[in-house]
Amino acid sequence: MLRKEQNDLLTLTGPGTPMGRMFRSYWLPALLADELPENDCAPVRVKLLSERLIAFRDSEGRYGLMDEFCAHRGVSLWFGRNEACGLRCSYHGWKYDVTGQCVEVPSEPEASGFAKKIRLRSYPLVERGGVLWTYMGEPAAPPPLPEWEFATVPRSQTFASKRWQESNWLQAMEGGIDSSHVSWLHRGDLDSDPLFKGARGNQYNLSDARPVFEVVESPGGLYIGARRNAEGGQYYWRITQWVMPSFTMIAPRGAHAVHGHFWIPIDDENCWAWSYDYHPVRDLTPAEIAAMRDGKGIHVRYVPGTFRPLANKDNDYLVDRAAQKAGRTFSGVEGIAMQDASLQESMGPIVDRTKENLVSTDNGIIMARHRLLRALKAFTDTGASPPGVDPAHQKVRSAAIVLPPDVPFTDGARDVLIARPAVAPASV
């Protein structure tokens, strides 16, 4: 459980809130690069950390992310014309460049210099790995650009998607480090999903449904190890990485791609669940990419033209009670992502953690909260840069590995928990 004030501290991320300020220390995924596919394309509304923004790509390919509303009369610039290196408001023709600087006010004499006095709040927007990243903190102190391996391998080796989740970011993120739910909620998917099936490690999962967990602090967050019995008295370990504030990388399966998530607050009651798949040493196959686009693995199918999952709260998540009864799915909801999201959304927009009853196997969640609160205090009291900002904290990998019984997994798997270019992941 958390006290109400602790829950508020961790869940509220709007401007001026402590957690909102800390989130603004990081480069955050804001859009898929495909959302702004060409110069002078249509602008896109973006809401992040409870701020309404507009993203556009100008005539020279520069990306801009700024206040959605024109400084003149408060009209949405989503209706704007993206032309000649600027976004022009459709109402009275005020025009802004990618930095938010107003460059033209048609009703005022150019010589008056009035336009120079108008500037919308803007944030940098850079492309890496098919994702557009933004930094919403102090302009004078941007951290180094993101170095997550999925965003730095060649584009042919990586795939990212995002989906709208109708809950606070923290309950979504906590689902990502709640390893003990996998044996229940997702038990039907290991053998059937094309992005998981066939791995030898799956047999360890299925033959030992009661793993033992070990949680260890890492420089950027946590290692969460799930241990199962393997041959010859050894242990099969699945080691998940959590890096602050909201990045996870799930242990790989066989030769399949490695995958994980970011959970980024849209506002306090909605978040983006970013999902990525990549392979450090090979291209993703057409079949893999087709499966990801078709909502397999950790991805979803969409309501056409949106990033809203096809199965959502407005259609009761397409729950199939017959499939549930027959054991094809455990909750009646199809697909790993929506199995998670449906339950997390059912908790309400911001779950009341004063009423929960955590147990010992929830230590991953408990320790993540502890680390967030600890970092938040240091950040607020002394301005200390939080874990996860340093690119060294981002160059990590999850691992699936068999180790002798008395070896700390952080020692036995030390080398494979670090991203090394052109080195295959440790996977079983």
Partner 1 sequence: MQTESARMSSAAEARFRVQAPNSLPRAIAVIALDAAAADVVTRLATDGWRHTTFYTSTSAGALHDLAGAPRPLHDAVAAADLVVLVAGAGGLAHAAAEVGRACSDRRVTTTGFLVGAAAAPPREISKTLAQLRPWSLMVVIAETDEYIGDMMAALRA
| Site for partner 1, rule CB under 8 A | 1-2, 166-167, 212-217, 227, 269, 313-317, 342, 345-350, 352, 355, 357-363, 366-367, 369-370, 373-374, 405-408, 410-411
State in angstroms the smallest separation of the CB of 345 from partner 1. 5
Residue with smaller CB distance to partner 1, 114 or 213: 213
Residue with smaller CB distance to partner 1, 381 or 406: 406
State in angstroms the smallest separation of the CB of 304 from partner 1. 19
What's the CA gap between 217 and 194, in Å, rounded? 33
3-state secondary structure of 100: coil
Distances, alpha carbon 362 to alpha carbons 157, 168, 226, 251, in Å = 34, 19, 12, 18
**Structure-token pair, residue 323:** 């499939």
State in angstroms the smallest separation of the CB of 316 from partner 1. 5
Residue with smaller CB distance to partner 1, 35 or 269: 269
State in angstroms the smallest separation of the CB of 226 from partner 1. 11
State in angstroms the smallest separation of the CB of 369 from partner 1. 7
**Structure-token pair, residue 262:** 């970011």
State in angstroms the smallest separation of the CB of 115 from partner 1. 42
Residue with smaller CB distance to partner 1, 210 or 286: 210
Cβ neighbours for 231, distance < 8 A, ≥ 6 positions apart = none
State in angstroms the smallest separation of the CB of 219 from partner 1. 10
State in angstroms the smallest separation of the CB of 308 from partner 1. 12
Q: Angle at which helices 4-11 and 169-176 pack, to 10 degrees? A: 90
Residue with smaller CB distance to partner 1, 82 or 329: 329
Residue with smaller CB distance to partner 1, 39 or 410: 410
Cβ neighbours for 69, distance < 8 A, ≥ 6 positions apart = 52, 75, 76, 77, 120
Q: Which residue has the tokens 């402590």?
A: 18
3-state secondary structure of 401: strand
Contact indicator for 212, 230 with CB cutoff of 8 Å: no
Cβ neighbours for 53, distance < 8 A, ≥ 6 positions apart = 45, 46, 47, 65, 66, 67, 68, 123
Strands (E), 17-97: 27-32, 44-48, 51-57, 63-67, 81-82, 87-88, 95-96
Residue with smaller CB distance to partner 1, 39 or 229: 229
Distances, alpha carbon 297 to alpha carbons 191, 219, 242, 248, 311, in Å = 12, 29, 19, 15, 15
Residue with smaller CB distance to partner 1, 250 or 403: 403
Cβ neighbours for 33, distance < 8 A, ≥ 6 positions apart = 127, 130, 131, 132
CA dihedral 169→173→175→176, nearest 10 degrees, is 150
Residue with smaller CB distance to partner 1, 381 or 411: 411
CA dihedral 85→88→93→99, nearest 10 degrees, is -70
State in angstroms the smallest separation of the CB of 167 from partner 1. 8
